[in-house]
Amino acid sequence: MTEIKQIVCGMVNCYLVTGKEGSILVDTGETGYDEKVLKKCEHKNVRLLVLTHGHIDHIQNTAYLAGRLGIPVAMHKKDVELKQNQFAQPLTGRGIFGKALEAASKSKMRRNRIEDFEPEIFLKEGDTLERFGVRASVVELPGHTEGSIGLDVDGQMVIVGDALMHMVLPGLASIYWDRGKLRESGEKISGLGSRTIYFGHGKPVKNRRWV
């Protein structure tokens, strides 16, 4: 049985996914949480670092953690541009909460620095991570960003990054690159059936109709 452990880093979640032959770290949080995440990875045979998307709150500790753990970084090729320019893809908020979140996110992107790193693995739909010790496959979930991905873990759990959020109530992300693509990704997650959903922001819930 594959195990998912949530690592709460302020408002953002990272995840340690552990199988019989190793673990993977999903996302890295922001500066100030690097040592917390590293400590959670101790003695877990972490073999890969997967980024669900390229926004700063999910990737800021990537260079540090990948270096300390001595592991490769994997992400979708379409989000690589964001590690050097957070404004390479448009970001729009929906509703009052979404507009506030958009403003806060853009302010953070302007003020903060991301130490550069080079992804060694580019993930796409259907790729499996079994060679890194866990039973998980990649699900492309564009909308929040162009290269957003999730992981379908052991056919029972899905890490969705920010395709969905649980900041107030669980639902589609309030900020996005493309609203139409985001809705399609929500329908895709719903279609996976009985799963526990693990968000980039908020506590896990059971899968449901998201659109």
Residue 128 is given by DSSP the state: B
So what's the pLDDT on residue 166?
A: 98
CB 164, CB 197: distance < 8 Å: yes
Distance CA(59)–CA(57), nearest Å, equals: 6
- Give the 3-state secondary structure of residue 172: strand
28: left (phi over 0), alpha (psi -120 to 50) or beta: alpha
Q: Report the CATH superfamily, name and number, of domain 3-206.
A: Ribonuclease Z/Hydroxyacylglutathione hydrolase-like (3.60.15.10)
pTM above 0.95, yes or no: yes
Distance CA(38)–CA(28), nearest Å, equals: 9
Per domain, the residue ranges of the chain are 3-206
Distance CA(140)–CA(148), nearest Å, equals: 6
> What is the phi/psi pair of residue 166, to 5°?
-130, 60
Q: What's the first-to-final CA gap in the chain, in angstroms?
A: 30
Residue 23 is given by DSSP the state: E
Question: Tens-digit pLDDT profile for the chain (211 aa)?
Answer: 899 999 999 999 999 999 999 999 999 999 999 999 999 999 999 999 999 999 999 999 999 999 999 999 999 999 999 999 999 999 999 999 999 999 999 999 999 999 999 999 999 999 999 999 999 999 999 999 999 999 999 999 999 999 999 998 999 999 999 999 999 999 999 999 999 999 999 999 999 999 8
CA torsion sign for 206, 8, 165, 2 is negative
CB 46, CB 16: distance < 8 Å: yes
So what's the pLDDT on residue 128?
A: 98
So what's the pLDDT on residue 1?
A: 84
Distance CA(182)–CA(185), nearest Å, equals: 5
CB 158, CB 26: distance < 8 Å: no
Burial 8-27 (b: 16+ CB within 10 A, else e): ebeebbbbbbbbeebbbbbb
CB 2, CB 136: distance < 8 Å: yes
188's enclosing H/E stretch is: helix 179-190
